Chain A
Amino acid sequence: MKKAIVIGGGPAGMQTALQLARRGVEPVIVERENALGGKLRNWHRLFPTFTPATDVLAELRRRVDEKGIEVHLSTEVESFTAKSVKLSDGRTMPCDAVVVTTGFTLFDARIKEEYGYGIYDNVVTSTDLERMFNEGRVVKADGSQPRRIAFLHCVGSRDEKVCQQHCSRVCCVTGVKQAIETKQLLPEADVFNFYMDIRMFGPGYEELYREAQQQYGIHFVRGRISEAAATHDGRIRIKAEDTLTGRPLRMSVDLLVLLIGMRANDTNAAFAAGAGLTRAASGFLQPENLFLDSVRSGVEGIFYAGAVTAPKTVGETVNEAIAAADAAAEYLSKN
Chain B
Amino acid sequence: MAAINFGYTISQPRAIDIDRNNLRKSDEILREMPELQTCIGCGSCTASCTAGNLTEFNFRKVHTLVRRGEYQGAYEELNKCMLCGKCRLVCPRGINTRGVILLIKRKLGDF
A interface vs B, CB < 8 Å?
114, 154, 158-161, 196-197, 222-227, 239-243, 246-249
Q: Given known contacts A226-B47, A248-B47, is B40 in contact with A241 (CB within 8 Å)?
A: no
Q: Give the 10 A-B CB pairs with smallest separation, nearest first.
A: A241-B43, A160-B94, A226-B47, A224-B42, A241-B46, A243-B43, A223-B43, A226-B48, A226-B44, A241-B47
Interface centre among A154, A158, A227, A243, by most chain B C-beta atoms within 10 angstroms, is A243
Q: Given known contacts A160-B92, A160-B94, A161-B92, is B48 in contact with A243 (CB within 8 Å)?
A: no
The stretch among B17-25, B53-61, B68-76 that forms the contact with chain A is: B53-61
Confirm or deny: B41 has a beta carbon within 8 angstroms of a beta carbon on chain A: yes
Confirm or deny: B106 has a beta carbon within 8 angstroms of a beta carbon on chain A: no
Interface range, B side: 20 to 34
For the A-B complex, the count of residue pairs with Cβ-Cβ distances under 8 Å equals 70
For the complex formed, measure the closest distance between the CB of B95 and the CB atoms of chain A, giving whole angstroms.
9
Interface centre among B41, B43, B48, B52, by most chain A C-beta atoms within 10 angstroms, is B43
Per-residue A-contact encoding for B33-47, CB less than 8 Å = 1, 0 else: 000000011111111
Chain B residue numbers with a CB within 8 Å of A225 are 44, 47
Q: Which B residue sits closest to A242, measured CB to CB?
A: B43
Chain B residue numbers with a CB within 8 Å of A159 are 92
| Interface pair B42/A161, CB less than 8 Å apart | no
23 pairs, CB–CB < 8 Å, chain A vs chain B? A159-B92, A160-B91, A160-B94, A161-B91, A196-B41, A222-B43, A223-B43, A224-B44, A224-B92, A225-B44, A226-B43, A226-B45, A226-B47, A226-B48, A226-B90, A227-B48, A240-B44, A242-B43, A243-B42, A246-B46, A246-B58, A248-B46, A248-B47
For the complex formed, measure the closest distance between the CB of A321 and the CB atoms of chain B, giving whole angstroms.
33
In the docked arrangement, what's the CA distance between A254 and B43, Å? 23
In the docked arrangement, what's the CA distance between A159 and B42, Å? 11
In the docked arrangement, what's the CA distance between A138 and B37, Å? 41
Chain A residue numbers with a CB within 8 Å of B49 are 248
Confirm or deny: B93 has a beta carbon within 8 angstroms of a beta carbon on chain A: yes
In the docked arrangement, what's the CA distance between A223 and B47, Å? 9
| Interface pair A161/B47, CB less than 8 Å apart | no
Chain B residue numbers with a CB within 8 Å of A241 are 42-47, 52, 58, 60
Q: Which B residue sits closest to A160, measured CB to CB?
A: B94
